[in-house]
Amino acid sequence: MIKAISLRCFPSSWTWKECIEKAKEYEFEGVEINFDGRIEIDCSPDTLKEIKKRIKENNLKVVSVYSRHQWKTPISSEDKEKREKGKKLLERLVEIAEFLECNSVLTIPGMVDNSLLSDDIEIVSYDSVYKRAKEIIYEVSIFAKEKGVTLSIENVPNKFLLSPLEMKNFIEEIGTEAVGCH
């Protein structure tokens, strides 16, 4: 196990480069990188190369990647187009993780209520979220497994997978080592 910090923990006025340097200065061994602010999910290959270079120069490891855009394009949405965007977002995060030699994508499994971090509020029944999230996460897990990446399900305030037992059952029902718990 290594001591790591999310870049989101640093002041929002800092660049991602400053955050990486401070992580090293504060004696962290790894960082979690969010792709939704300092660095966008559709960043260029050159930006990813620069991130990788800075990580190596600072003798750090990327322990996970994620994007809060998952709140705006939930894979459990009633809207099929939104679900597809959410799936593509997870696939993009898997690609980024592989490039950055990271084996974990923080994955929001779906949302009964996305109002915490989305202006386009949607309330979806628990059973619909369960079915859709399980299906899409399984589909993305096939791609993730090929890349050596785990979709790490995180317990967030989305009113879904409320107990440890629900989380355990959800992950076991998907049935692949490419899906775990964050």
Where exactly are the structural domains of the chain? 1-66, 68-182
Query: In the prediction, which pLDDT does 117 show?
Result: 86
- What would the DSSP string read from start to end of 126-143? HHHHHHHHHHHHHHHHHH
In this prediction, the residues of the chain whose per-residue pLDDT falls under 70 are none
Q: What is the pTM (predicted TM-score) of this model?
A: 0.96
> Cα 64 from chain centroid?
7
**Is 151 in a helix, a strand, or coil?**
strand
103 near 158, Cβ under 8 Å? no
Kindly report the backbone phi and psi dihedral angles of residue 29, in degrees, each rounded to the nearest multiple of 5, phi listed first.
Answer: -105, -15
Superfamily (CATH) of domain 68-182: Divalent-metal-dependent TIM barrel enzymes (3.20.20.150)
Q: Which residue's structure tokens are 């992580």?
A: 23
> Cα 86 from chain centroid?
11
Query: In the prediction, which pLDDT does 114 show?
Result: 87
Query: In the prediction, which pLDDT does 37 show?
Result: 86
Question: Which secondary structure element, helix H or strand E, spans residue 160, and what is its range?
Answer: none
